[in-house]
Structure 1
Amino acid sequence: MDLPLNLTLAIRNIFKKKTQSIISILGLGIGVGCVFLLMLLYIHENSFNGSIPNEQLIYRVLQGNDCRTSFPLANTIKDEIPLVDNYFRYYQTADIELKDSRNEIQQDHRFAFADASIFDCLGIQFIQGKPAQTKSDVCISQAIAKKYFNSTEVCNQFLKIKLNNQFISLRITGIFKNFPANSTFNANFIADIDLTQEVLSHNQKMYGHYGQENEEFKDWNHFPFHSYLLLNPKANPEAIVHNIQNYKERTNHEQRKTMDFSLQPITDIYLKSAEVNGDTFTPAGNSKQLIYFLAIALFILLIAIVNYIFLTKAKIGVRLKELGTQKALGASSVSIKKQILLESNLISFISLVPAFFILALGIPFLNATLDRSLSFELFSMWQVWSLLIIIILLTGSVAGMAIGIHVSKVSTVLLLLGKVSQTPKIKSWNNSFLSLHFTIFIVLIIGVITVKKQLHYAQTGSQNINPENIIICELNSPELSNQFNVIQTEVGKIPGVMNSAGSSFIPPFNNFLPVNLQYENERIQFDGLIMGEGMIELLELTIMEGESFGNFRTDQTEMIFNESAAKKYNLKAGEIFNGCYVKGIVKDFNAHSLRRMIQPMVILQQDPKKMSLFAIKTTGKNDKTITESVQKIFKEISPDKMVRVYSLSDQITEFYQTEQQQAKLISAFSLLAIVLSVMGLLGMVLNTISIKTKEIGIRKVNGAKTYEIISMLNKEFAKWIVIAFLIACPIAFYVMNKWLENFAYKTELSWWIFALAGIIAIGITLLTVSFQSWRVATRNPVESLRYE
């Protein structure tokens, strides 16, 4: 039988059973689309920094598991160690304020500071101009030039940037091409590294009374910079690492002297920095999460292929006489296999239509959920097309061969009788695949519920702290800090405001503030907070002993410790510790995310004139009006400052962005798993019904009721769901327990989560099976008896 005839027959058979063909195409399309979507994500995540020239020769310097290094380190390495060809230091801020061409204040992101050599090392191309080389220069990206000037011909024009609480004019010396989406460098502005002094001095001011203004950051004792080295092709990285260990002794920082240096390849930064500290401004991926998502996609593809096999078996069941006739007329087993294989691959290729639909929806969904920048530009890579063809051919061929080999072995006589075996009884092995479908489905449902339950617990169950109805405003100018008492008085007059207080840090927050104190001739590091009077009451922290802060005193430093610190170091309220007065002891509370155990903590009191944050406790009824009123008060005091207002609940939510992403993606995959499980169930029901049609007709003739037939078929399928539930529960329990280990404080894996997943699975099964059973059970028995 030649190819054109086989193709004609394949197309005819696809259209002959339109419903089953559509289900097959949609099922395969969903499976292929999911796999391919996450394959694209996998390719994208593993391509970071791969476009940098000589990327295999560029390394980031680590000390211990910290990527922050001192200012002199990189240039000293370059000067003193052979075969280090170049270097650059890098620092980046989160948000900056600038004045646009209309002199209006705007907020922008990713303002970086670096040595001019960054452009040579990373191969950054200039559209116009050259790097910034003095403290009064800046380079901007192509996107920023178009955003603020609507042109890339802007060299020698000026930008007014707010650094260290004042706007300074920076001359634009160059416009560079935008960093690619798969780069760990994403700066919009790159100023000279010496200008970092302005930002770091400003950051120290958040410590208020305890800050060190105008501190020199260019020595060996401060570690804010990322250092990158470009090695000579002849260099041995291990030898370089050995040589730079000597620089540990140049610092006075005792802990740093014990931390060994190492070199991290620039291509490893994105996916292999989970254990690296200080990576606050570098985009980072999650290799474990990536493998996890890929595994889910492969399971979905497995379900889709199994679905297709059973749907096709149900469809082939009514074509057995046709295939038998072909065999009787001389068609060989090989030609039968080829025909079924061709039909399977044709359906597989047609499934590209829904697969691309999944991609069209999935790419924006992944970008929004994971904050990525996937695009269809990835299809310009030959690897992507090769992967696509392999997946399609593999999917179609596996499904086609599984059916073709089985059917081609059946004798001509049996095929002409419409049978594939002497025994009409369906094999348990076939329906056992239903357990595979629903095992994966139940595990995903349990995962979704557990992740969302933990997120709710993390956002609402912070131990011994009440984050509800708290609005936070930044006192980000000297005028606002100096007028703290005036602001507090005016805010107190706004309806709906219960009380207010100032602080430098408001828990829970992400950063860790180390405070070193002396205890029995030993230097002890505490987790630290700096709060103003009234903040402990505003957060509803519990005073266990002593009292909260009163009026700020300049003649004596007062401290409040948490109960962990009090127990560990036997502290009592009213005592003197480290030369400071112990004002009180508070009950332990989560100052950071629930991933971190509560540590011994000391709370220092902030000077009211040096606050950096202002918190307002409201009734929660008119927060929008309160926010507008506060912004108006702030603008009257400091007109040239943008007022940033956010809620403490939003701050907590940001801690768990990774878990929120996981919840969204697992929910999406679970929805697809439900669809595919129903399709698979439908295929098995159709397969069973095609075999049992005559039996059902005989039962009907002998007086069987419709509900009895429906019950008979439901019992046959329900047992496989029960088996799936028994298999899924221990798997889900183990997997989710491992996931919950990421949290020091976590919710419980309640029994109702497993019960709910089982009820959903059995409910879907009963509805699907009952509908199909009802259709066949209500048919005329004569039609059923004529089926074979």
Structure 2
Amino acid sequence: MHLIKQIFRSILKFRMASLFSIFSLVTAFLCIIIITLYVSFEKSFDQFHTNNSSIYRVETSYSAWIPAIAADVIKENIPEVVNVTSIWNRGKSKFATEKMNLSDQFVSTDALYASDEFLRMFSFPLIIGDKNTVLIEPGNVVITESLSKKLFGKENAYGKTITINKAEFMVSGIMHDLPNNSTIQSDCLISFSTLTRDARGKIKATKSWSEWSYNVFIQARKGIKPKKLVQKISQIDQFDKKLEGIKERNPNKEPLSLRPLKELHYASSYWGKSNKLILNILSILGFMIMCMGFVNFINFSTSQASNRAKALSIQQVLGGKKQMARIQVILESIILSLISIIVAIAIHFLIYPTIESFFEIKGLSFESRPIYLIWFFILSISFGVLASLYPSNYFNSAPISEVIKGKIFFVKKGKAFRNALIIIQFVFAIGLIISTLIIEKQLHFWKNFDIGIDKEHVVCIRTTKDLREHHQAFADELMKSREILDYTYSNFIPGQVGMGWGREIDGQYVNIKCWPIDHHFLDFFKIKIAEGRSFNPNSQADINTFIINRKAAEEFGWENPLEHQMGGFDFLGDIIGVAENFNFSRLQDEIMPMQFWLTNKRKYVLMLRVQPQKYQQTVTYIKNIAQKFDSTNQIDVKFLDDQLNALYTKEEKIARFIEFITLWCVILAMFGILGLSFFIGYDKTKEIGIRKVNGAKTHEIIKMLNIDFLKWIAIAYLIACPLAYLAMNKWLENFAYRTELSWWVFALAGIITMGIALLTVSFQSWRAATRNPVESLRYE
């Protein structure tokens, strides 16, 4: 009990150092909590599946899309495979009950076609239904509990009929909502056999080796290595023939591979939503924050070394043991650390919903993960012990006789160690500032890049059913305004082409993006035709023909692309032209093979080129005309530039998150340098008094106190620049279109760091320099 009282007396006596230590630790711990919870959540994806270690997605060197028939062939020929399932993502669909259809209401959510082995392979538990049978019969659907409530309220949905995009289905099962850390996300599973009754030719597609539009997952027997499976699948006759052509066109890549389920979350596809590199960077940042908190604690602890050593020495003179003095310092450190982690956790509970919302991330809650609370308390205790080892030894290293007499023992002792700690802190801070500036530069580069089409002064409208039924009349009415210069209908807006076709043409597999458009589209965006001709606006004969881009012709090795044809959903269309390449997707990736499909359907987006002077007036006019054709639905008019910039929202949010962490590091670095300035101020108190008595001016003393800090920052800058250059150059290599590592970024980072450091240190230096010299000379 006496020891505990002594510890709290010491904390209160040196309350300035204690408060700074707690503030610094709270800042460090709070950041570590956020990073740890987020990274651990992202890395937990798909780990809940019982068979997660033996589930793989079958992929080729082109993509993850393969023919659905491959699932049947694998199942028949590979005994090492326990389960095989085919998946087709239908995307957003309209769900309704019979009552909802009468009032033209619906619920829009994702739907997924899956074969009957899906629920035996993946651990998505059912509330009602048998996982072995619910997806066997055509027309069966399994819906989530939340979708069931939206459609039927408190009624039991099992066995009832619903419509999905006007087609009737029977609810054969109800499952729990899919976990947040599941890569596969859907509110509805439709039996894959339903596709075989589809009147639009899906039965042919699911049994054809020419339709590469499906995902196939396999579950291997325990202990079977993926390499063995790849080898056996490759030797199947049907696969062997297909893989030969793929190998010829991609000789540097393995034509067939199996992607483990645990890697699916990081894959580049519609399911891949995370970046392993970013997670590793955040983990490194968490470690850096921990190190900086460690450095700050030591600096604040040792900033009043002389006074602390004297207090501990007096205790020893009065009968205390040296070992107990060391234990006291360690326990003080543990208590400060525990106080800090409690405050940090309390703040986290208050702010994490705001952080999740602002950065559009998940996983910061302790819900269902209370074990992390225990780990954070263990971390704080461990931190307290480790961070106190140096101070406890440092305070007790001076001879008691010298400390009691007031002789200064700590002037130079441990100086090199503390200097090294502060340099390490600023290496982290400068490196992160450089990285943040380069990330911002890259985002600016993407947003201002010329993608190769005329996208200025274009607004977009997502059409409703009524607007699509009267699309020509609606466009003609809009064109009566002098403020509207031109129009075009399309299935997608630039940057969001979501239709991909996998085909086998002339004996080779072709994977191509498909963009359904109207006659006006190419002229509207001033897209140049390099070979052949454009679509004829005055004839319907070009309907269901294609114009491909140069990339497609080169990728497919077509010397005379106009002699080829491309298979549509239920037709065979001629290729009548080749367009110049332009960036129709995100700038992270290279230009992909793409084709324009002229169709008189799929009028889902209307784009208008407007006069720039009267935007607000024109938008109001568009909405008023839309109301005449569809009085029940409100339309939203958006600028194409804003839509294109939204392609980089995810990167922008992650950039802001990294900037958020960078700010944390800078704050901790400033606290560290403030702690060291305290230490130097105490060490040089008498020296400052003597200099002032001998005529030294205040600015000369401030310069003397600051010069060492400038040297440390300069050393940190020289270390941080090449490290940041290498790291950011490696990061930029992930993008097809990237900015340059300009010299001014590194110079600006140095100026920012130097300016912040000088402002932080100069205040403390000014206080020391303006102290009464009489008091300074009496300080012993």
Common fold, TM-score beyond 0.5? yes
Query: Of 431, 436, 445, which residue of structure 1 is paired with 2:419?
Result: 431
Query: Of 421, 441, 446, which residue of structure 1 is paired with 2:429?
Result: 441
Asked if the contact 2:461/2:606 (under 8 Å) is kept, the reply is yes
Moved more, 10-19 or 497-506: 497-506
Tell me what 2:51 maps to: 54
Asked if 1:412 corresponds to 2:400, the answer is yes
Q: How does 1:5-404 map to 2 (within 5 A)?
A: 5-64=2-61, 66-99=63-96, 102=100, 103-130=103-130, 131-151=134-154, 153-162=156-165, 167-196=166-195, 216-233=205-222, 239-247=228-236, 249=238, 258=247, 260-271=255-266, 273-274=267-268, 279-280=269-270, 282-357=271-346, 359-360=348-349, 361-362=351-352, 365-366=355-356, 369=359, 371-381=361-371, 384-385=372-373, 387-404=375-392
- Residues 93-144 of structure 1 deviation map (CA, whole Å, 9 limit, x = unaligned): 3322234655353453221222233233324333234535444332211122
Moved more, 623-632 or 689-698: 623-632
Separation in 2, partners of 1:174, 1:569: 44
- Residues 174-207 of structure 1 deviation map (CA, whole Å, 9 limit, x = unaligned): 2211122222232211121133469995xxxxxx
Moved more, 227-236 or 306-315: 227-236
Tell me what 2:667 maps to: 675
- Residues 411-466 of structure 1 deviation map (CA, whole Å, 9 limit, x = unaligned): 11232244563755883542343322222112211211211221122122133334
What secondary structure is seen at the aligned counterpart in 1 of 2:85? strand
Separation in 2, partners of 1:503, 1:475: 10
Separation in 2, partners of 1:568, 1:222: 19
Asked if the contact 1:69/1:225 (under 8 Å) is kept, the reply is yes
Separation in 1, partners of 2:730, 2:5: 53
What is the aligned residue count?
A: 758
Residue identity matched to 2:302? K
Per-residue deviation at 1:294? 0.5
Distance 1:581 1:337, change over 3 A: closer
Tell me what 2:486 maps to: 499
Distance 1:376 1:593, change over 3 A: same
Per-residue deviation at 1:771? 1.2
What secondary structure is seen at the aligned counterpart in 2 of 1:190? strand
- Residues 636-674 of structure 1 deviation map (CA, whole Å, 9 limit, x = unaligned): 657898967654334433433442233111110111112
Q: How does 1:667-746 map to 2 (within 5 A)?
A: 667-746=659-738
Separation in 2, partners of 1:290, 1:616: 41
Distance 1:388 1:423, change over 3 A: closer
What secondary structure is seen at the aligned counterpart in 1 of 2:583? coil
Per-residue deviation at 1:366? 4.6
- Residues 323-359 of structure 1 deviation map (CA, whole Å, 9 limit, x = unaligned): 2222333433322221111111111111113321453
Separation in 2, partners of 1:73, 1:569: 23
Asked if the contact 1:35/1:294 (under 8 Å) is kept, the reply is no
Asked if the contact 1:533/1:605 (under 8 Å) is kept, the reply is no
- Residues 539-587 of structure 1 deviation map (CA, whole Å, 9 limit, x = unaligned): 35567899865525455698877688999999999x976598977865x
Residue identity matched to 1:502? Y
Tell me what 1:207 maps to: none
Separation in 2, partners of 1:391, 1:218: 56
Tell me what 1:596 maps to: 589
Asked if the contact 1:69/1:224 (under 8 Å) is kept, the reply is yes
Distance 1:181 1:218, change over 3 A: same
Per-residue deviation at 1:38? 2.2
Separation in 1, partners of 2:553, 2:213: 32
Distance 1:11 1:317, change over 3 A: same
Separation in 2, partners of 1:197, 1:225: 14
The gaps in structure 1 that reach 5 residues or longer are 202-211
- Residues 24-73 of structure 1 deviation map (CA, whole Å, 9 limit, x = unaligned): 11211222232233222333233222222333343333344633332233
Q: Percent identity?
A: 27
Per-residue deviation at 1:322? 1.3
Per-residue deviation at 1:296? 0.8
- Residues 139-179 of structure 1 deviation map (CA, whole Å, 9 limit, x = unaligned): 211122233333262223333321xxxx2333323221112
Per-residue deviation at 1:523? 10
Per-residue deviation at 1:311? 0.7
Separation in 1, partners of 2:7, 2:612: 65
Separation in 2, partners of 1:561, 1:50: 42
Per-residue deviation at 1:284? 3.8
Separation in 2, partners of 1:612, 1:95: 14
Asked if the contact 2:299/2:676 (under 8 Å) is kept, the reply is yes
Tell me what 1:508 maps to: 495
Separation in 2, partners of 1:342, 1:253: 69
Residue identity matched to 1:591? F
Q: CA RMSD in A?
A: 4.0
Distance 1:54 1:71, change over 3 A: same
Asked if the contact 1:98/1:159 (under 8 Å) is kept, the reply is yes
Separation in 1, partners of 2:82, 2:578: 56
Distance 1:416 1:455, change over 3 A: same
Separation in 2, partners of 1:236, 1:747: 41
Separation in 1, partners of 2:547, 2:62: 31
Residue identity matched to 1:460? N
Residue identity matched to 2:141? V
Query: Of 521, 535, 538, which residue of structure 2 is paired with 1:535?
Result: 521
The gaps in structure 2 that reach 5 residues or longer are 248-253, 566-573
Residue identity matched to 1:180? P
